[in-house]
Amino acid sequence: MPTSSERKTTFLQTVRRVTALTLPYFRSDQKWKARAMLAGVILLNLGSVFMLVQLNEWYRVFYDALQNRNLTVFWQQIFKFSWLALIFIIISVYKFYVTQIIQLRWRVWLTDHYLARWLAHKAFYRLELSRFTPGAEGAPDNPDQRIQEDLNLFTNYTVTLSMGMFNALVTLVSFVGILWTLSGSLDFGVPAFLGGGQWHIGGYMVWAAVLYCAVGSVITHYIGRPQVRLNFQQQLLEANFRHHMVRVREYSEAIALDGGETVERRQLDLGFAAVMRNYFTLIKSQKNLTWFSSFFGQAAVIFPMIVASPRYFSGAIQLGQLMQINSAFGRVQDSLSWLVDNYMSIAVWKATTDRLAGFEESLTQQSTDNTQLVTSASPDTLDARGLDVALPGGRMLLAGTDLHVAAGDSVLVHGPSGSGKSSLFRSLAGIWPHARGQVAIPADTMFIPQRPYFPDGRLRDALAYPQPADSYGDDALRQALRDALLPQLADQLDRQDAWSQKLSGGEQQRLAIARVLLKKPAWVLADEATSALDEDAEATLYARLVAQVTKAKGAIISIAHRSTLGAHHQRRWDLRPNAEGATAAYRIEASGTDAPDAQGRYRLTAT
């Protein structure tokens, strides 16, 4: 869904957005290198225009030598052209090189800048949530594409187009005077019914170039205007098509078991058809623009000759001056036609800028911590005061909830699906943006989410995540795997793999518990951490988790549907539905006993 920054914008809004995206780099800690390279590119552009001026004068002398059959001057000009061409080539090569280095350094800085902002303050998590908030603004699609692809396009087109426009302006200033001088004046008689006499148009070829290019620019903008919207839409549709294929990869086993290939193929076909429809519309728009730009470019080859021919055939100028006029007119015409020649690139650049502006706006919105949820560290208790938990759409699940868990406690959270158990879990973790109240939680706390994350790479890195693998010895890593009932992996610490796809659901949950057993936190909050395990494995692992937190004088809080987990917890929080019309949909009712039975298990009283 397009953000407010991605809708139709004015020229001044676009300038402000480009400035906002550009200035931070040139004011950063790399500003002196960036400014020095920018100054270098500007000087090289000035040098290339100076060489074009020299070559323009060379045209006059060389072609006059041909017309006069002057062999000596001919060879002198051949020699002069050689060193002029050599200097021009050197300047062109280094202009390209330094321009690319600026673009590369700028992209590196912007990528680092946006990765830092995306991953700070849980913004990446909040951005994903905002996409599913009804009526939410500022929810960009595919932030990965914006960082990886759009930053590359933006830096490339911004540097290329800005330097191209600067070169065009300098060329125009340099050659318009030359063309004015060479043009002379165009004299023609005025009909008697208009008053008679003579009209004198000084520098008439300059006016001809301005008129020619003005007409061309207006027509180009009229024909090419839809390309900004079409390019923006093309990037969006391409990203969505790619994202759907990534999801097929991610859920390949579930799709295969469900026999969902036909459905996925149908959805992919629909997505690709949308890509192709928009692309075909874009091609037709580009075809129309190419018709005109090709005609415009070819006409520009002969147009200066036609305009200058009266003075040549009247003997006012020689062949050398005619060729010099033709060259100068071409430079002026190229400069004035910069918009015509670069319209397609500008359309892509404008669409990219709009997408990045929307991403920037969303990051700014989502990078602010939830001030309504005040979190703090406590030494040995978990406390929540006046905790409200809502869904992204605004529906209140829990209101004014007070919770207290002391060291040595073990609490089972139970309730129907959709009652807010996982939202409560995220609120206690301090990451849920739709919660308010006060939460104090011990610093030595680990969370086990429903879907644990394991980075691709070595098993030791997946097990130690997010700490470096060398923070733990091999013996500790192997023992944690054995304790989590994964002895078959104990000798594969350096094996490289995509563990989230390689391991079954149950093995992933065991690996997540192995991570906890390795790091030995005092407090553990688990959300359906053993839902994919059999009861015997669940009992064994929970006994070890409870033993660990008890030894560390901490506590464990578990969300689960299975009643068998009640044997491992002293207390129980049941989420019960409230009467219709209540402030919140659910309330928490606590129950339980602190006395274990003869087998060391805890009995829960009914509520």
| Full DSSP string of 340-393 | HHHHHHHHHHHHHHHHHHHHHHHHHHHTS--TTEEEEEESSEEEEEEEEEE-TT
288 and 377 co-located in one domain: no
389 and 361 co-located in one domain: no
356 and 377 co-located in one domain: no
Instruction: Give me the sheet containing 381-390, strands edge to edge.
Output: 373-378, 435-442, 381-390, 396-406
pTM of the full structure: 0.76
pLDDT attached to residue 134: 62
Task: Say if residue 596's pLDDT is above 50.
Answer: no
**Local confidence band at 603 (pLDDT 50, 70, 90 cut-offs):** very low
Backbone angles phi and psi of 85, in degrees to 5: -65, -40
The average pLDDT across 63-68 equals 83
Task: Say if residue 607's pLDDT is above 50.
Answer: no
pLDDT in tens, 118-154: 888 888 888 888 776 665 555 667 788 888 889 999 9
**Local confidence band at 193 (pLDDT 50, 70, 90 cut-offs):** low
Which CATH number goes with the domain that contains 78? 1.20.1560.10
Domain-located, residue 133: yes
Q: Which amino acid is at 342?
A: N
Domain-located, residue 600: no
201 and 184 in contact (C-beta within 8 Å)?
no
251 and 451 in contact (C-beta within 8 Å)?
no
378 and 360 co-located in one domain: no
Domain-located, residue 601: no
Between 317-321, 386-390, 449-453, the lowest mean confidence (pLDDT) is in 317-321
Domain-located, residue 604: no
H/E element holding 307? helix 261-313
Query: Average pLDDT over the chain, rounded to whole?
Result: 85
96 and 240 co-located in one domain: yes
DSSP bridge partners of 28:
none
pLDDT attached to residue 595: 44
State how beta strands 555-559 and 410-414 pair: parallel
pLDDT attached to residue 604: 38
The residue out of 302, 334, 366 marking a domain boundary is 366
pLDDT attached to residue 68: 82
pLDDT attached to residue 602: 38
* Number of domains comprising the chain: 2
The residue out of 366, 396, 415 marking a domain boundary is 366
468 and 358 co-located in one domain: no
The average pLDDT across 338-354 equals 84
pLDDT in tens, 66-76: 888 888 888 99
45 and 101 co-located in one domain: yes
Domain-located, residue 574: yes
Task: Say if residue 2's pLDDT is above 60.
Answer: no
Domain-located, residue 280: yes
64 and 108 co-located in one domain: yes
pLDDT in tens, 515-528: 999 999 999 999 99
pLDDT attached to residue 188: 64
414 and 575 in contact (C-beta within 8 Å)?
yes
Task: Say if residue 411's pLDDT is above 60.
Answer: yes
| Other Cβ atoms within 10 Å of 104 Cβ, number | 14
554 and 407 in contact (C-beta within 8 Å)?
yes
444 and 345 co-located in one domain: no
37 and 64 co-located in one domain: yes
Q: Which residues have CB under 8 Å from 412's CB, separation 6+?
A: 558, 560, 565, 566, 568, 569, 571, 572, 573, 604
| 496 exposure class (CB count in 10 Å sphere: 0-12, 13-18, 19+) | exposed
Q: Considering all CA atoms of the chain, what is the largest pairwise distance in Å, rounded to the nearest integer?
A: 124
pLDDT attached to residue 200: 67
**Local confidence band at 192 (pLDDT 50, 70, 90 cut-offs):** low
Dist CA 46 CA 24 (whole Å): 26
Task: Say if residue 211's pLDDT is above 50.
Answer: yes
Which CATH number goes with the domain that contains 548? 3.40.50.300
Domain-located, residue 599: no
17 and 74 in contact (C-beta within 8 Å)?
no
pLDDT attached to residue 394: 84
The residue out of 336, 351, 366 marking a domain boundary is 366
Dist CA 23 CA 184 (whole Å): 45
pLDDT in tens, 479-496: 999 999 999 999 999 999
Please give the residue range of the domain that contains residue 395.
373-592
Among 153-167, 176-190, 216-230, top mean pLDDT goes to 153-167
Between 36-40, 60-64, 199-203, the lowest mean confidence (pLDDT) is in 199-203
Domain-located, residue 390: yes
Q: What would the DSSP string read from start to end of 513-553?
A: HHHHHHH--SEEEEESTTTTS-HHHHHHHHHHHHHHHHHTT
Task: Say if residue 104's pLDDT is above 70.
Answer: yes
**Local confidence band at 606 (pLDDT 50, 70, 90 cut-offs):** very low
264 and 191 co-located in one domain: yes
Query: For 68, which DSSP code?
Result: T
Strands (E), 101-217: 185-189, 198-202
| Other Cβ atoms within 10 Å of 245 Cβ, number | 13
pLDDT attached to residue 592: 66
Among 336-340, 354-358, 379-383, 519-523, top mean pLDDT goes to 519-523
pLDDT attached to residue 139: 60
pLDDT attached to residue 598: 44
Dist CA 342 CA 116 (whole Å): 33
Residue 503 tokens, joined? 């391991």
Q: Which residue has the higher pLDDT, 525 or 370?
A: 525
77 and 62 in contact (C-beta within 8 Å)?
yes
H/E element holding 125? helix 123-130
359 and 438 co-located in one domain: no
